[in-house]
């Protein structure tokens, strides 16, 4: 049984976002750069300072991640720090769907919540996380998801033909927002000390894809499957550009 059949999720609020999916009048929501006085803004500023000294970053179409309105940022997961790197480089605040194990102790839970993250149970049916993502995206926020479901390597990576979870498709269809695929290469080396030394020893290559618009609601198994295949093809195309 998948999460769609397990529970009836709330429909997306009408008239939200600015992608033209609803018949009600649309009020565009400007992207919210993370305030430097917030925990998210402080972490992003600190991260950019470190990146300035240590990283060579090559980005294709980074302006797509600053798109107004709600969307889902679907990010590859070749290393442990992919969401952190994306949050450092994107001006908009990204609300990351984060595995529940990171919320186990109180200090980490406090920090993650201040950063806008919300937990997902990867072992069960993630209904609560899906609902949160739908509500936030429909209200104009940017939701970050690693649709491969965890760190992957080799042929399991979507850029090499691997699979992705259908949760990202359910969120996009029900919220009525597009998915912006993002391929990030180089994070698999960031678990070593070398890339973090000064003089820009670390290298990241990042490609953002054009928004991939979901089929109209309701979300059905056939629609989710077709949309997933469309996203998989977009990831492979982005990888070839890098």
Q: What is the pLDDT of residues 79-95, one digit of tens each?
A: 999 999 999 999 999 99
- Has residue 21 got a pLDDT over 70? no
- Has residue 239 got a pLDDT over 60? yes
pTM, two decimals, is: 0.84
Sign of the alpha-carbon dihedral angle for 105, 106, 110, 113: positive
Q: How many CA atoms lie within 13 A of 115 on its CB side?
A: 23
Q: Which of 24, 86, 36 is nearest to 57 (CA)?
A: 86
* Per-residue model confidence (pLDDT) at position 111: 85
Q: What is the pLDDT of residues 131-155, one digit of tens each?
A: 999 999 999 999 999 999 889 989 9
- Has residue 23 got a pLDDT over 90? no
Structure tokens at 147: 């649709």
Greater confidence (50 vs 33) lies with: 50
* Per-residue model confidence (pLDDT) at position 35: 55
Q: What is the pLDDT of residues 185-218, one digit of tens each?
A: 999 999 999 999 988 889 999 999 999 999 998 9
List of domains in the chain: 34-241 (3.40.1130.10)
Q: Which of 144, 137, 138, 142 is nearest to 182 (CA)?
A: 144
| Secondary structure (3-state) at 95 | strand
Instruction: Give the whole-angstrom CA distance, residue 21 versus residue 16.
Output: 9
Q: What is the pLDDT of residues 96-128, one digit of tens each?
A: 998 877 788 888 888 888 888 998 877 666 788
Q: How many CA atoms lie within 13 A of 186 on its CB side?
A: 19
């Amino acid at each position: 049984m998948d999460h769609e059949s397990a529970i009836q999720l709330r429909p997306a609020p009408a008239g939200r976002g600015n992608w033209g999916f609803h018949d009600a009048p649309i009020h565009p929501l400007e992207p919210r750069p993370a305030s430097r006085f917030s925990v998210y803004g402080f972490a992003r500023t600190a991260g950019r300072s470190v990146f300035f000294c240590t990283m060579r970053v090559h980005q294709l179409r980074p302006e797509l991640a600053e798109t107004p309105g709600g969307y889902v940022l679907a990010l590859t997961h070749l290393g442990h720090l992919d969401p952190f790197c994306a949050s450092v480089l994107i001006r908009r605040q990204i609300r990351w769907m984060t595995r529940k194990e990171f919320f186990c102790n109180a200090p980490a839970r406090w920090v993650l919540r201040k950063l806008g993250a919300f937990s997902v149970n990867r072992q069960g049916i993630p209904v609560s996380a899906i609902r949160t993502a739908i509500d936030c995206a429909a209200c104009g926020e940017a939701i970050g998801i690693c649709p491969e479901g965890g760190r992957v390597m080799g042929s399991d990576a979507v850029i090499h033909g691997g699979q992705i979870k259908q949760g990202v498709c359910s969120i996009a269809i029900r919220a009525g927002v597009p998915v912006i695929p993002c391929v990030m290469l180089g994070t698999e080396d960031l678990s070593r000390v070398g890339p973090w030394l000064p003089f820009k020893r670390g290298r990241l290559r990042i490609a953002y894809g054009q928004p991939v618009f979901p089929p109209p609601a309701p979300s059905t198994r056939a629609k989710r499957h077709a949309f997933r295949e469309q996203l998989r093809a977009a990831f492979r195309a982005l990888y070839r550009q890098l």
